[in-house]
Structure formats: C-alpha cells, structure tokens
A = this chain, B = another copy of it.
Amino acid sequence: MAKFMDVHRGMVGITPDQLHEAHEADLRIQDQEGVRFEHAWADPESGVVYCLSEAPDKASVQRIHERAGHPADEIHPVPLEV
C-alpha cells in the first residue's frame, strides 16, 4: 500500500452535498480495488478537488474514480509526509 494525492479540475461551483456524494460514491466501491480514500478538499471557486488515499497503486485509484464517474486529472504517489 502507498499513499496517493489526486487532483480533479473543472469542479467549479461544487457544493458540500456534491463533494460528499462524490466521496461516498468512491467509498462504496473502493474495497473492490483495495483502495482507502481518506480525505478530500475542494475549492468551488477554482474547481479544484484534492483527494488523499491509500492504495496498491495509481491505476487502482483511477479505476475507482472512473467507475464513480469522476476520473482524476492527476494522481501522484506521495511517499513522503510530514
């Protein structure tokens, strides 16, 4: 397992309910790829959403996001943390 930060762009105007629902959509199927989504932060003004997860690899994170209807624009492994 490794830690990943992914970035979604173009979510301008995202509401708290929409963020919650998007996160729930990930959580509902994450076990199928062994992913654990931990946290997401959104800026409705610029439309950027950051999403932190633990996963076997980058592809498994993307597969869950795609199947949940919101593919990520960038996914970075973040092996270092403070």
Contacts and interface: CB of A to CB of B under 8 A. Distances in A.
A18 to B, nearest CB: 9
B42 A78 contact: yes
A24 to B, nearest CB: 8
A39 B50 CA distance: 14
Interface string A20-53: 1001000000000000000111111110101010
Interface residues of A, number: 26
Contacts of A15: 80
Contacts of A79: 42-44
A16 B81 CA distance: 8
Interface in A1-21: 3, 5, 14-16, 19-20
